[in-house]
Amino acid sequence: MNLAQLREKLKNLSSLTHWEELPGSPAEYADFPREISDKICKTLEKKGINRLYSHQNEAVKLALKGKNTVVVTPTASGKTLCYNLPVLNKIIEDPGSRALYLFPTKALSQDQLAELHDLAESLESGVKTFTYDGDTRPEVRRSIRQAAHIVITNPDMLHTGILPHHTKWVKLFENLNYIVIDEMHSYRGVFGSHVANVIRRLKRIASFYGSEPQFIFSSATIANPGELASRLAGAEVEVVSENGAPAGPRDFLFYNPPVVDRELGIRKSYVLESKNLARRLLQNEISTIIFARTRLNTELILSYLKEQLPSSRKVRGYRGGYLPRERREIEAGLREGEVLGVVSTNALELGIDIGQLEACLIAGYPGSISSVWQQAGRAGRGRERSLTILVASSSPLDQYIINHPEYFFQQPPENGLINPNNLLILMSHIKCAAFELPFEEEEIFGVESTPEILEYLEEEGVLRYRQGRYYWMADKYPAADISLRSATSDDFSVIDITDNNHQVIGRVDYFSAPTTIHEKAIYLHGAGQYQVQELDFADRRALVEEVDVNYYTDASLAVDLRVLEEFETSGEQDFNYAWGEVSVTARATMFKKVKFNTHENVGYGDINLPEQEMHTSAYWFTVPASLREKLGRDALENGLLGLANLITNIAPLFLLSDPRDIKDTVQVRAPHTGLPTVYFYDSYPGGIGLSEKMYRVHDRLRERARELVEECPCQQGCPSCVGPGSEVGLQAKEHAVLILKAWERKDSYGHQRSAP
Amino acid sequence: MDIKDRLRNLPGKKPRKREKSNNKAGSSQSPKANSSTAASQDAYLFNREIYEPDFQQGNYALGELKELPLEQAKFLFKNRSDYQLAKEELIFLDTETSGLAGGAGTVVFLVGLGYFREDNFILEQHLMRDFEEELDQLLAVKSRLEERRAVVSFNGKSFDLPLLENRFVLNRLSFPAPDYHLDLLHPSRSLWNHLPSCSLKALERQLLNYSRRGDIDGSEVPELYFSYLRKKDMSLLEPVLHHNRLDIISLVALAVHLEKTAGSTEYNHLSAQELYNLGRILERENRRQASIECLEKSYRQVRSTSRPKKKMLEKIEKNLSWQYKRVVNWEAAVTIWQRMIEEKRGEYFARIELAKFLEHQQADFAGALEHSRAARSWLFENRHWRDDWRQKLKEVEHRIERLKNRSC
């Protein structure tokens, strides 16, 4: 059966909730801009590129005009030319000029290097491109610093390896014309907030050496590319988003595994269902990429498929942790058609060249609309018809999406949010910046309050003030203690003691430690499961041993939240909502063992750890006190808890974030509002902008929550909506709906009242 | 909330509070200098001391540095030039910094320089008493460095000079890179690698017969500087200035010692270990005859002691016989191998070498076979001591097979 024949068969599948036929679109071309040198045009023509797509043309023109630019394009639309053209053109014009390319990971920078290298080589103009990262051999580092026209690196290396040693990079910084930032959408949340500060430092150093580089970003489709780019660059950025690359027609199928236990709301395992669908595709020799959400699932699906498919159908796995050589081999196998199928984590979602496949199967909603489009873009060969199947897990977010295809297809994708001014992150980078170059008294580093922060650091003895300048004054290297991937420098090390060769396998930030690496917790790392044997809180380390179990652990936090300052508030009397700064005291109390897939509880345990306090930002809304009388205290509390679960779980519809980035708590009689209140807070000290955004989409959040809970087929709450009745109480679902309805009545009442 | 309150409430480790300084300001036993001037201009602090040629540090007087310093020992330095440097063209340099990790935020607060003028040794210390004095300090150092062509340092290649260069770059000044840089660490490491430590202090103690009293450890320097900055109490820096002076004078003494060790052609005053190391260095330099002479002297010295160290002998014998082989002095090589077998040292090595010699030079296959078989049984008996015995066994068996074929 070919894809067209199989397509007809698939129409009979009973668990499909939606079938969308997306028409293709023809290519839109434009000529090379006049400013591009003949040499480059001729070289590209030799490679079969005679003209550009319209978006490439637009991006290149803007860059040549000296504008900061962000290009938003789907997978495989030739985005690299958008930045390579202006950069190479500049270097050919002026061989002294330099560019810096940032990629979020090492693997990606290797790929880009190969492509860029090839183009630079065929230009025969002596353009030198080099990767500079942790793997770069010491003996070539010096020559890269001196001679490379284009330095390819990642934010972590820039942060610890380049900026603190900028005096060795004089050539680069004196002549820095372009900063290229690829895969911009990956710079969000804590990581993005750090990276924005690393870029502040980069601009500061460049300006010290007298250069003012221009930015070119590229990004997957997100709702706010211009905003994210300008927050990262700290400058205005022009957006290019009209894609000129051709696309073939595509069938987009939504698949919801059938319910097997109606009362508990349990569905068939989405992993097994995905595997069956994948087998069907591969058996018919349809080249397919399967995206799984975790490394564990990747391995699981891969081993099923290998077992059940004839060996002539070659299927490979692909994820972080594979050796670079292995990955290159798989990529080549896919391009050349030698490998028929690949099971991957989101590692292949980013711009690695694997050619184009016929079908894409997404096992579990990857958490954002933007990711789904990135993954789906992996299928589609030129003008031919392609197929994408999204299989939902039982999580609320998946269930919402799978039952609201119209939402998925009409909604702009999520917002990439960062908060470069998170005090903790900002202060870390002000220290790094002071190490790199003394601060002038009135200097502004991103925020107006820079002078106050400098004064504070001076009082603490970290900086020294002399004659209008602040100098670094400590015998240490601040960048070494600051990881761009976590909010605090106070991390716990996770040490594998399975064999004698004790190794650090991961780091967990201070605030996550009590709930993720308490004793007996199951810690997932790579494809492995580890059980925590001992947590040494004082020494900040957890000793773990490899295990093989069918459950994960989920810890409960007793949370005490206090509002410190209200920044904005809306609504009226009993129905108001706000956001502001809060202090959260949290203590992990106990943990549950939860079975994979079915989410059944299979055991409990206590946790005895000190409580932790953090200041962060929160969003909250109130419920009329009358409900307390009507339902009774306990019933109301359960209803609020259910509602909190629901909203936390669907918040990622609006934010590019993980549900774990947001935490919630409820107060039946809140000291701050005097009313029953539900709180949602950023689970990072200082906040990263999530709760503020939730405040802004308050009405839409409520609407989505109501849709989801009312449509959920379960009777008394399940993991796909308010949480299982066994935890939140059997009436939680009913009461959560009641609360949401009360808010809606208030809406229509308010509406009527304000009507003329 | 006020931003400073919010800062104070941030989680994680708080910045270290300033601790009280409990530094015993060391019994500052300044080397006796004939005259000393401390010019405290407005710009930065400048110390100068003048030492006469007979000033002793350990075994040596400063004046012992020859007219053409390090001339004979030049081969010890990598990237050396054949240009001859007069004593007056050298500048001895040692710095003290605010951190040991390097990077743009590490300042070189003290630059110590020493040079010869009319036989006297002048020692200057350029101290930045606070951050704003750096530019003036660097300008002064720059003009001093530009007067001389060669810097002499200890580990200056990877530490002092790169850090100093950082400071120049940060102040947008061109760096006065010296034409030559003689870093004494590298030759010291090759000559004295048998010593437990090759730090400057250890070398002083073991080679120059000088031991410092009341001196601070280099790792204490950054914290002392920071305490000084906070309290502006010059006595806190005295130990650092003292430490820096001792380092510079030791540089001169060490240069003299290097010159005496490697500079003469007689080498009679060297220990067996030094002779051996020198032999290895000369070998790398392709000065084979000189290398053989060193190794022979070392060999004689060890053999003449009442209880020669077996390990040492074996090491020398292996090397020396290789060298003989290279210069086709088979007789001398064979003598050594036979002696090794007789005295039961490195028997396997010696037998294999003899087998090679007999097979390829003498076509004596039977003799070669005999040695090969003896090597095999030695190897088997001693297999517990050698990790690579299987591999070696394979090799020797291969040799035996070949010899069997050739001999019949």
- pLDDT tens across B327-360, in order? 999 999 999 999 999 998 888 999 999 999 999 9
Q: Does residue B296 lie within any of the structural domains?
A: yes
Size of interface A-B (CB pairs under 8 A): 108
- Tell me which of A410, A437, A461 is where a domain ends: A410
Three-state secondary-structure class, residue A327: helix
Confidence label for A725 from pLDDT (cuts 50, 70 and 90) = confident
Cβ-based contacts of B166 with chain A (< 8 Å):
167-168
Shared domain for B207 and B223, answered yes or no, is yes
Q: Does residue B340 lie within any of the structural domains?
A: no
Shared domain for B155 and B291, answered yes or no, is no
Side-chain half-sphere exposure of A262, counting CA atoms within 13 A: 2
Which of A166, A471, A511 is the best mutation test for B, with the most CBs of B within 10 A?
A: A471
Q: Does residue A533 lie within any of the structural domains?
A: no
CB atoms within 10 A of CB B166: 22
A415, amino acid identity:
N
Shared domain for A89 and A111, answered yes or no, is yes
Three-state secondary-structure class, residue A293: coil
Nearest one of A194, A142, A103 to A479, comparing CA atoms: A194
- State the total domains in chain B: 3
Shared domain for B182 and B293, answered yes or no, is no
Nearest by CB: A167 against B16, B166, B223: B166
Shared domain for B92 and B108, answered yes or no, is yes
- Tell me which of B329, B363, B379 is where a domain ends: B329
% of residues, chain A, pLDDT over 70: 95
Cβ-based contacts of A478 with chain B (< 8 Å):
105
Higher pLDDT, A667 or A300: A667
CB contact under 8 A, A423 and B10: yes
Shared domain for A349 and A431, answered yes or no, is no
Residue A510 C-alpha, separation from nearest chain B C-alpha, in angstroms: 8
Shared domain for A205 and A304, answered yes or no, is no
CB contact under 8 A, A455 and B131: no
Q: Could you list the residue range(s) of the whole structural domain that residue B275 is in?
A: 265-329
B275's CB contacts (< 8 A; 6+ apart) are B267, B294, B295, B297, B298, B301
Cβ-based contacts of B230 with chain A (< 8 Å):
461
- Tell me which of B263, B279, B307 is where a domain ends: B263
Three-state secondary-structure class, residue A583: strand
Residue A514 C-alpha, separation from nearest chain B C-alpha, in angstroms: 15
Cβ-based contacts of B103 with chain A (< 8 Å):
164-165, 435, 477
DSSP for A625-662, please give it.
THHHHHH-HHHHHHHHHHHHHHHHHHGGGTBSS-GGGE
Measure Cα distances from B363 to B352, B355, B358, B359, B408 in Å: 15, 10, 6, 5, 13
Nearest-angstrom CA–CA distance, B100 and B225: 13
CB contact under 8 A, A612 and B17: no
Give the containing element (helix H, strand E) for B403: helix B389-407
Nearest by CB: A469 against B131, B222, B229: B131
The tokens for B272 are 């067996």
B375's CB contacts (< 8 A; 6+ apart) are B347, B348, B351, B352, B355, B396
Shared domain for B273 and B251, answered yes or no, is no
CB distance A375 to A382 below 8 Å: no
CB contact under 8 A, B4 and A612: no
CB contact under 8 A, A423 and B7: yes
Nearest by CB: B103 against A170, A435, A615: A435
Confidence label for B13 from pLDDT (cuts 50, 70 and 90) = very low
Q: Does residue A66 lie within any of the structural domains?
A: yes
The pLDDT value recorded for residue B78 is: 66
Cβ-based contacts of A464 with chain B (< 8 Å):
130-131, 229
Measure Cα distances from A235 to A352, A421, A595 in Å: 29, 15, 48
> What pLDDT digit, counting tens, does each position of A49-70 carry?
999 999 999 999 999 999 999 9
CB distance A226 to A70 below 8 Å: yes
> What pLDDT digit, counting tens, does each position of B62-113 carry?
888 875 556 666 677 765 556 667 888 899 999 999 988 889 999 999 999 9
Q: Does residue B185 lie within any of the structural domains?
A: yes
The pLDDT value recorded for residue A454 is: 95
Shared domain for A169 and A287, answered yes or no, is no
CB contact under 8 A, B11 and A424: yes
> What pLDDT digit, counting tens, does each position of A114-170 carry?
778 888 888 888 899 998 988 888 888 989 998 999 999 999 999 999 999 999 999
Nearest-angstrom CA–CA distance, B70 and A38: 59
Residue A53 C-alpha, separation from nearest chain B C-alpha, in angstroms: 44
CB contact under 8 A, A581 and B14: no
Residue B18 C-alpha, separation from nearest chain A C-alpha, in angstroms: 7
CB contact under 8 A, A510 and B132: no
Q: Does residue A339 lie within any of the structural domains?
A: yes
Nearest one of A217, A201, A216 to A159, comparing CA atoms: A201
Q: Which one-letter DSSP state was computed for residue A151?
A: E
CB contact under 8 A, A460 and B15: yes
Q: Does residue B387 lie within any of the structural domains?
A: yes
CB contact under 8 A, B11 and A613: yes
CB contact under 8 A, A436 and B104: yes
Residue B107 C-alpha, separation from nearest chain A C-alpha, in angstroms: 9
For range A320-344, the mean pLDDT:
81
The domain that holds B301 is classified in CATH as 1.20.58
CB distance A3 to A287 below 8 Å: no
Query: Whole-prediction pTM value?
Result: 0.82
Shared domain for B52 and B99, answered yes or no, is yes
Shared domain for A654 and A735, answered yes or no, is yes
Chain A's closest residue to B221, CA to CA, is: A475
Nearest by CB: B101 against A455, A476, A614: A476
Confidence label for B22 from pLDDT (cuts 50, 70 and 90) = very low
Shared domain for B86 and B234, answered yes or no, is yes
Shared domain for A97 and A234, answered yes or no, is yes
Nearest by CB: A475 against B4, B166, B223: B223
Nearest-angstrom CA–CA distance, A258 and A13: 11
Nearest by CB: A477 against B8, B103, B230: B103
Chain B interface residues (partner A, CB cutoff 8 A) = 1, 3-4, 6-18, 98-105, 107, 130-132, 165-166, 169-170, 222-223, 226, 229-230
Shared domain for B164 and B178, answered yes or no, is yes
CB distance A591 to A555 below 8 Å: yes
Residue A319 has pLDDT above 60, yes or no: yes
Cβ-based contacts of B231 with chain A (< 8 Å):
none
DSSP for A502-540, please give it.
-EEEEEE-TTTHHHHSSTT-EEEETTEEEEEEEEETTTT
Confidence label for B196 from pLDDT (cuts 50, 70 and 90) = confident
Cβ-based contacts of A419 with chain B (< 8 Å):
none
CB distance B317 to B292 below 8 Å: no
The partner residues of A613 in beta bridges, in order of sequence, read A585
Dihedral (Cα; A666, A667, A670, A672), 10-degree rounding: -30
CB contact under 8 A, B11 and A614: yes
Nearest one of B72, B184, B51, B166 to B120, comparing CA atoms: B51
Beta strands B56-57 and B120-127, pairing class: unpaired
Measure Cα distances from A186 to A101, A657, B118 in Å: 15, 11, 67
Confidence label for A499 from pLDDT (cuts 50, 70 and 90) = confident
CB contact under 8 A, A437 and B170: yes
Nearest by CB: B7 against A436, A453, A477: A453
Shared domain for B257 and B299, answered yes or no, is no
- State the total domains in chain A: 4
Helices B238-263 and B272-284, axial angle in degrees (round to 10): 80
Chain A's closest residue to B162, CA to CA, is: A168
Q: Does residue B101 lie within any of the structural domains?
A: yes
CB contact under 8 A, B7 and A564: no
Q: Does residue B281 lie within any of the structural domains?
A: yes
The domain that holds B107 is classified in CATH as 3.30.420
Cβ-based contacts of B8 with chain A (< 8 Å):
456
Which of A711-725, B146-160, B210-224 has the least mean pLDDT? Answer: A711-725
Which of A167, A452, A470 is the best mutation test for B, with the most CBs of B within 10 A?
A: A167
Cβ-based contacts of B165 with chain A (< 8 Å):
167
CB contact under 8 A, B15 and A612: no
Shared domain for B281 and B350, answered yes or no, is no
Q: Does residue A487 lie within any of the structural domains?
A: no
For range A526-546, the mean pLDDT:
86
Helices B389-407 and B347-356, axial angle in degrees (round to 10): 30
Cβ-based contacts of B161 with chain A (< 8 Å):
none
Which of B5, B7, B97, B229 is the best mutation test for A, with the most CBs of A within 10 A?
A: B7
Shared domain for B244 and B277, answered yes or no, is no
Nearest-angstrom CA–CA distance, A456 and A473: 14
Shared domain for A449 and A358, answered yes or no, is no
Shared domain for A601 and A738, answered yes or no, is yes
Cβ-based contacts of B105 with chain A (< 8 Å):
164, 434-436, 472, 477-478
Residue B143 has pLDDT above 90, yes or no: yes
Residue B166 C-alpha, separation from nearest chain A C-alpha, in angstroms: 6
> What pLDDT digit, counting tens, does each position of A183-195 carry?
899 898 888 999 9
A602, amino acid identity:
V
Average pLDDT, chain B: 84
Residue B125 has pLDDT above 90, yes or no: yes
Nearest one of A502, A733, A511, A507 to A613, comparing CA atoms: A511
Shared domain for B309 and B277, answered yes or no, is yes
Q: Does residue A178 lie within any of the structural domains?
A: yes
Side-chain half-sphere exposure of B286, counting CA atoms within 13 A: 0
Nearest-angstrom CA–CA distance, A212 and A366: 38
Average pLDDT, chain A: 87
% of residues, chain A, pLDDT over 90: 46
CB contact under 8 A, A437 and B104: yes
Shared domain for A574 and A672, answered yes or no, is yes
- Tell me which of B242, B263, B284 is where a domain ends: B263
Kindly tell me the sign of the dihedral angle through the C-alpha atoms of A671, A673, A674, A680. negative
Q: Could you list the residue range(s) of the whole structural domain that residue A61 is in?
A: 29-240
The tokens for A303 are 């081993």
Shared domain for A475 and A607, answered yes or no, is no
Residue B269 has pLDDT above 50, yes or no: yes
Shared domain for A400 and A437, answered yes or no, is no
Shared domain for A52 and A84, answered yes or no, is yes
Alpha helices in B173-309 (DSSP H): 185-191, 200-203, 221-231, 238-263, 272-284, 288-304
Q: Does residue A200 lie within any of the structural domains?
A: yes
Cβ-based contacts of A564 with chain B (< 8 Å):
1
The domain that holds A273 is classified in CATH as 3.40.50.300
Q: Does residue A149 lie within any of the structural domains?
A: yes
The pLDDT value recorded for residue A615 is: 86
CB distance A408 to A435 below 8 Å: no
CB contact under 8 A, B12 and A510: yes
The partner residues of A665 in beta bridges, in order of sequence, read A679
For range A563-576, the mean pLDDT:
90
CB contact under 8 A, A456 and B4: yes
Q: Does residue A169 lie within any of the structural domains?
A: yes
